[in-house]
Copies of this chain bind each other. A is one copy, B any other.
Amino acid sequence: MTETNTQILLRSRPVGEPTAEDFSIVSSAVPVAGEGEVLLRTRYLSLDPYMRGRMSDAPSYAAPTALGDVLPGATVAEVVESRDPSREVGDVVLAYGGWQAFSVAPAKQTRRLDPDAAPVSTALGVLGMPGFTAYAGLTQIGRPKPGETVVVAAATGPVGATVGQIAKVLGCRAVGIAGGPEKVAHLTELGFDAAIDHRAPDFKEQLKSAVPDGIDIYFENVGGHVWDAVLPRLNKFARVPVCGLVAHYNATAAPEGPNRAPALMSHILTKSLLIRGFIQDEFARDHQREFLTEATGWIAEGRLRYREDITEGLENAPEVFNRMLRGQNFGKTVIKVS
């Protein structure tokens, strides 16, 4: 093989929003597949908010990426060499190849995709980790009952859009929060019962009007001023699956006072709230298969729609990643690598 690999490495730990200097883009030799492994050419790289956590060495649910290492990420890739009988050259698989053009993986850590069943990029979005995050958090923590009100922010993102549409499938009222009129209009197209712009000066009042019976489930993936507005509207026994806090990821210090933590705890107490952080992994064994079956069916029926925000060129990943954290993406953020 005469090609070279392109890799994006973590050069330094970002303080606040990552800058170009925090990354290095390098050329290196294409890696070699060992026994039982496959050599993969990346087609699509997924960019997801959780990656900001890996760039930092603050304690979190996963170890940080070491300085000088390739940044991690889910990929859809083509098998270009196979040293395992279960995979053939030309197979398209879901892998965890990271921010690079070629990668090597044990064959059994890849999942073969059927390009006829759905566009393969959906394995990174609506049928992948973001879709399953939405499904698991909503059904296993939120436990929606028909007629209840479900609110989700970042609602045009791959998690939020899926939460809202599954809530509708399950008979709930779905209210989406997004930034800007174009996104808000898209939520209505997706069938949300109400859509609100969190940048509107009267955001709090709009939210109040949109949830006349209060909020039974708030699917949290934003934090910040959206959470502050939602908290007083939560009903007794409301459930809050906490899947992300993208508004905080670039924060460098605790925000100014007053200290709202005691008020948050008081709401939890006086309204018998359930607040539960989660990563989708913990539900994968018991629910991933049922999710894939259900979601594939809902997509076929037109009840679950998705939108992708695809940029060509691996070298654009750092800038596109920042745009996503600022909420400037519109749908699932993906880099088309080859």
Chain A interface residues (CB < 8 Å from chain B): 53, 59-61, 220, 223-224, 227, 236-237, 242-245, 248, 251, 253-279, 282
Contact = CB atoms under 8 A, between A and B. Distances in A.
Contacts of A272: 61, 276-279, 282
A222 to B, nearest CB: 10
Q: Which of A220, A254, A271 has the most CB of B within 10 A?
A: A254
B260 A258 contact: no
B262 A245 contact: yes
Contacts of A258: 253-257, 259
B275 A262 contact: no
Given A276-B274, A276-B275, A262 B255 contact: yes
A224 B266 CA distance: 11
Contacts of A237: 282
B257 A255 contact: yes
A101 B110 CA distance: 74
A256 B255 contact: no
A140 to B, nearest CB: 12
11 contacts: A53-B270, A245-B265, A245-B269, A253-B258, A254-B260, A260-B260, A261-B263, A261-B264, A264-B264, A269-B277, A272-B279
Contacts of A274: 274-276
Contacts of A279: 272
Given A237-B282, A257-B257, 5 more contacts: A242-B268, A245-B266, A259-B260, A275-B275, A275-B276
A60 B268 CA distance: 11
Nearest to A251: B262
Nearest to A269: B277
B270 A273 contact: no
A10 B209 CA distance: 36
Contacts of A276: 268, 272-275
A275 B268 contact: yes
Nearest to A243: B269
Contacts of A244: 269
A54 B269 CA distance: 14
Nearest to A260: B261
Nearest to A228: B261
Contacts of A254: 257-260, 262-263
Nearest to A220: B265
Nearest to A253: B258
A274 B200 CA distance: 32
A50 B277 CA distance: 28
A265 B242 contact: yes
Contacts of A270: 53, 59-61, 277
A299 to B, nearest CB: 28
A254 B263 CA distance: 7
Contacts of A245: 262, 265-266, 269
A26 B41 CA distance: 85
A239 to B, nearest CB: 9
